[in-house]
């Protein structure tokens, strides 16, 4: 009996001790219920003991022009809750929240008309720091500011080797309609204006389609916004494709024009095609409505002949475009220097290098007008140029070549 009584008393004491230890175990969470106060509460926002909810870090930003930085790294996982006191329920592991969402690559600002380009990617944000046991980690800090890649008037082409200033640039792929950087002529008849087209292109998916007419169909820099050149000099590069070969034009037509006015009212330097009387139709350069006081209209042909001279001295065929073929055409318009030059597929056509716009080098060297506009399209005078496609247009203060 005494031994049984002692056992009974011991059991009662043990039961009492267990009852006291289970009344408010230190491992019980205050709200979420799984982690004890000393074992680390569950992650911020967790319900009923579940892992802490992800808390997105903010996108990186910076003071530079590049915009948001790249992704913050993932935050570390919260440390597991430690066990409660004797008899208590172990605190659940508090999951750390996910690190901040990655900032998008900084887009470079548009420096001027036609500016475009993507800035360098911002550096990665630092990893989120782990909070105390069970807590949500802090979001990753912002990445470094993306470098500026903008281009436009007053700046070079971002991310390229171009040494000059970009005035206008377009591959016509951004939308199915003409970009607002261009003025479409004639503005009084939209049916004659150039259109963005998908039937043929140099760089997919789009190009500019021109249906030439007697009144002209052109795109040009916007009305009232003269070409921003400090020395009245610019280079034009276009990829061009004719539905008709030059030999089939049978008259005079123009497609690339440096002009004083948007219509034909001022002096124009027209790169086009016509026939000097022998050799058939060929590339030519026509100075229309000159204001130099040294004579009237004059034309240089790509076989070397200049009107006013003897065509019998120039019997070459000149330069002719084939039909349905893409050509890289470049031209220099230098008003102050009274100079014009032309290149096709990077080869200069020497007979089209004009300084003296007179027959037999008589000394007409001050013919250059003030170039306010560059007109890209087609106009029939006595010939029918038909449909013309343009792509990858580039207007700048230095020669660009055919690769950019």
- pLDDT tens for residues 265-308? 999 999 999 998 878 999 999 999 999 988 899 999 999 999 98
Terminal-residue alpha carbon distance, the chain? 106
**Rounded Cα gap, residues 326 and 342, in angstroms:** 16
Can you give the pLDDT at residue 359?
Answer: 85
Can you give the pLDDT at residue 160?
Answer: 63
User: What are the residue ranges spanned by the domains of the chain?
Assistant: 166-396
Residue 374 pLDDT class (50, 70, 90 cuts):
very high
Q: What are phi and psi of 338, to 5 degrees?
A: 45, 60
Instruction: Check whether the bond before 264 is cis (ω within 30° of 0).
Output: no
Whether residue 42 is predicted with pLDDT greater than 90 in this model: the reply is no
Distances (CA, A) of 369 to 208, 361, 387: 28, 20, 29
Whether residue 21 is predicted with pLDDT greater than 50 in this model: the reply is no
Can you give the pLDDT at residue 77?
Answer: 38
Between 253 and 67, residue with greater pLDDT: 253
Q: What are phi and psi of 145, to 5 degrees?
A: -65, 135
Whether residue 216 is predicted with pLDDT greater than 80 in this model: the reply is yes
According to the CATH classification, is domain 166-396 in 3.30.70.100? no
Q: Which of 115-124, 174-183, 254-263, 288-297 is the least confident region?
A: 115-124
Structure-block tokens of residue 72: 């913050």
Percent of the chain whose pLDDT exceeds 90: 52
Tens digit of each residue's pLDDT (9 = 90 or more) over 69-104: 333 343 343 343 333 333 333 333 333 333 333 333
| Contact indicator for 94, 100 with CB cutoff of 8 Å | no
**Rounded Cα gap, residues 379 and 372, in angstroms:** 19
Q: Average pLDDT, stretch 136-144? A: 36
Can you give the pLDDT at residue 224?
Answer: 80
Question: Could you tell me the pTM of the whole model?
Answer: 0.63
Smallest Cα–Cα separation from 77: which of 59, 51, 57?
Answer: 51
350: three-class secondary structure by DSSP: helix
Q: What are phi and psi of 22, to 5 degrees?
A: -95, 0
Between 29 and 227, residue with greater pLDDT: 227
To the nearest whole number, what is the mean pLDDT of the chain? 71
| Contact indicator for 285, 270 with CB cutoff of 8 Å | yes
**Rounded Cα gap, residues 148 and 215, in angstroms:** 43
Given its phi and psi angles, is residue 224 left (phi above 0), alpha (psi -120 to 50 degrees) or beta?
left
């Amino acid at each position: 009996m005494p031994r049984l009584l002692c056992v009974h008393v011991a059991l009662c004491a043990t039961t009492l001790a267990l009852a006291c230890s289970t009344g408010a175990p230190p491992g019980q969470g205050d709200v979420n219920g799984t982690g004890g106060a000393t074992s680390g509460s569950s992650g911020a926002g967790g319900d009923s003991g579940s892992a802490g909810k992800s808390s997105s870090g903010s996108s990186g930003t910076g003071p530079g022009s590049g915009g948001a930085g790249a992704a913050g790294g993932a935050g570390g996982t919260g440390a597991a809750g430690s066990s409660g006191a004797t008899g208590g329920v172990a605190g659940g592991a508090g999951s750390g929240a996910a690190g901040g969402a990655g900032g998008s690559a900084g887009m470079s600002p548009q420096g001027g008309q036609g500016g475009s380009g993507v800035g360098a990617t911002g550096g990665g944000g630092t990893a989120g720091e782990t909070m105390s046991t069970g807590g949500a980690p802090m979001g990753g800090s912002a990445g470094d500011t993306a470098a500026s890649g903008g281009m436009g008037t007053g700046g070079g082409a971002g991310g390229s080797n171009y040494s000059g200033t970009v005035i206008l640039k377009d591959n016509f792929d951004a939308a199915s309609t003409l970009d607002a950087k261009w003025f479409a002529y004639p503005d009084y008849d939209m049916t004659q204006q150039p259109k963005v087209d998908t039937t043929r292109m140099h760089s997919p998916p789009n190009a500019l389609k021109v249906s030439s007419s007697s009144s002209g169909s052109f795109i040009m820099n916007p009305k009232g916004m003269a070409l921003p050149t400090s020395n009245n000099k610019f280079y034009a590069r276009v990829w061009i494709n004719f539905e008709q070969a030059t030999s089939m034009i049978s008259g005079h037509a123009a497609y690339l024009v440096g002009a004083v006015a948007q219509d034909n009212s001022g002096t124009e330097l027209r790169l086009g095609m016509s026939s000097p009387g022998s050799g058939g139709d060929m590339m030519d350069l026509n100075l229309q409505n000159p204001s130099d006081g040294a004579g009237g209209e004059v034309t240089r042909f790509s076989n070397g002949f200049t009107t006013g001279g003897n065509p019998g001295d120039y019997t070459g065929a000149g330069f002719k475009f084939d039909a349905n073929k893409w050509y890289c055409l470049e031209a220099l318009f230098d008003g102050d220097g009274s100079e014009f030059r032309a290149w096709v597929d990077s080869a200069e056509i020497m007979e089209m290098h004009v300084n003296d716009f007179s027959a037999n080098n008589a000394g007409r060297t001050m013919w250059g007008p003030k170039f306010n506009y560059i007109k890209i399209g087609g106009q029939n005078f006595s010939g029918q140029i038909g449909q013309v496609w343009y792509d990858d247009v580039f207007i700048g203060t230095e020669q660009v070549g055919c690769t950019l």
